[in-house]
Chain A
Amino acid sequence: MIEAIGLTKRYGRTVAVDDLSFTVQPGRVTGFLGPNGAGKSTTMRMILGLDRPTAGRVLIDGKPYTELHRPLQTVGALLDAKWVHPNRSARAHLRWLAKSNNLPKDRVDAVLEAVGLTQVAGKNAGGFSLGMSQRLGIAAALLGDPKVLLFDEPVNGLDPEGILWIRTFMQNLAAEGRTVLVSSHLLSEMALTASELVVIGRGKLITQSSTQEFIDSATGNTVLVRSPQLSKLGPLLVDKGFTVRDGADGALSVSGATSDQIGDIAAANGVVLHELSPQRGSLEEAFMQLTGDAVEYHAEIGK
């Protein structure tokens, strides 16, 4: 479990992270979501004791990172896949990491196997593609078989196969009961990967909730209704107090009602339905609505 309490980081006058409090629970993938420059990476560096918070603190299983004994056995992190010496082999990179936390040598081969890098373990890490570097970074994170895992933008720049691999990998790690925190600015990716979200903008917490709640709360429920007898159905729905608007192609867009309610009303009044589909708001819409003015750097579109 990760617990941030009033975490704050200032660089001169710039406030990168502002009084941020959240918790990350084990057993599920928690998405750490925010636009570029929102303070995600800074927060992750503070969790890992690399950066010193200006105020507040962050605890991993009740302890600050710097007080963990053999930290790789508790926390695995992939902040940047390029944090390797380009002229050092993948195996040597893992070997010194393993040695530093007194991990047995066979862990190196085990994690290389787990990420599928056994074939190229003797090659220099500098020659690796981004996907391979990312796998090496994950291998390093898994080295100590840690209960807590942090990934900073793990799918950035990866091809679809790599993205799918990482997504499945993280979900499996969470299913094993580990705490998994993944940062991203890619909302669609988070919708598929994370079941819990911590959303920040300009260093402030916007919301912490489940992914489903986040989307529902931000976009509201709308149901698209298509029927040859809309002129009959429309007024009936309005009578029930639902908001009815004309949707595309002569369909009706109904807000405030579930599809069940609309179906019941239609049946009770003998109205034929051709389509009755709940419109799930996308994470993007939810996100834009909530972070509208919390974007650090933005340009006006179409002006």
Chain B
Amino acid sequence: MTLLAVERIKLFSTRSPYWCSALALVLGVGLTAIIAASTDNGQLSIGVTQFGSSQLALSVVLVMAALAVTTEYRFSTIRATFLAVPNRTSALVAKTVVVAFIAAVLGEIIAFGSVGMAKLLSPASDLAINTSGEWRHVAGVGLLYGIGAIIAIAVGILVRQTAGAVAILLVWNMLLEQLIGIIPKAGVKIQAWLPFMNANHFLQLGGDNTAEQAGAGIDFKLSQWGSLGYFAGVAIALLVVALIVAKRRDA
């Protein structure tokens, strides 16, 4: 518990998490606002409210999580941390827990904020969250952010510098996994096992809306919750590797 408090103090005594959170909120909810404003009143559905949260805002949250580690390396406060807490694994796990938790809460705020924004701008549309699929589609964003933050932290620990970690995360999430689909035949099969593709699969509403959503046309072998588990598994595996490396490496 002490270590969690330490990481909380560290995170909230600098400004970058506030700025990143605000930016993620503006981008996530803002995109929904633009979509809502450009759609005829009454035509909006739950399926289009989460474009901003699950794509743009997610990237900002990944950057925020990576920054939580890479700035520690950049300013060598990681050494001060390891001096105060020689058990590096517990120090870094505490950081991961705090950042992932904040990312998850932020995800819920952005997801439900987006639905609220859509309701506000398109009052005639049916935007009630009724089915379990709709709940998963909206509330699941928080889970996605939390697990995404674990991946970002693991990459941050391994790469140790902001520019590198951010580049890897953004290219991976926004470009690489999409581009692999270009490979004839094999591409789609590979995509079924890529972590962020599976994350998007988890969010899919199913039914008529599927075609508009990310990850459409991929034949996933896992159930939607299975995909989430797979995404989480990749995140944990990466984190374990990062922790082992951090423990052996000279700080």
Contact = CB atoms under 8 A, between A and B. Distances in A.
Q: A and B, one complex?
A: yes
The B interface is mostly helix, strand or loop, or mixed, namely helix
Contact of A102 (B2, B87, B248): B2
Contacts of A92: 9, 13
A50 B82 contact: yes
Contacts of B72: 85
Contact of B250 (A51, A65, A140): A51
A85 B2 contact: no
Nearest to B75: A85
B171 interface: no
A87 B15 CA distance: 7
B221 interface: no
Given A50-B82, A72-B83, A85 B250 contact: no
Given A68-B86, A77-B83, A100 B3 contact: yes
B76 A97 contact: no
A46 B237 CA distance: 30
Interface residues on A, range: 20 to 34
Interface residues of B, number: 27
Interface string A76-94: 0101101111111100110
B13 A83 contact: no
Contact of B84 (A45, A52, A71): A71
- Among the interface residues A51, A82, A88, A93, which one has the most CB atoms of the partner chain B within 10 A? A88
Nearest to A140: B80
A107 to B, nearest CB: 13
B54 to A, nearest CB: 30
Contact of B251 (A50, A67, A86): A50
A50 B80 contact: no
A98 B15 CA distance: 21
Contacts of B80: 83-84, 97, 140
- Which 10 A/B pairs are nearest by Cβ-Cβ distance? A92-B13, A100-B84, A66-B86, A51-B250, A96-B9, A83-B76, A50-B251, A100-B6, A88-B13, A87-B14
7 contacts: A71-B83, A83-B79, A89-B13, A95-B9, A96-B6, A96-B13, A100-B2
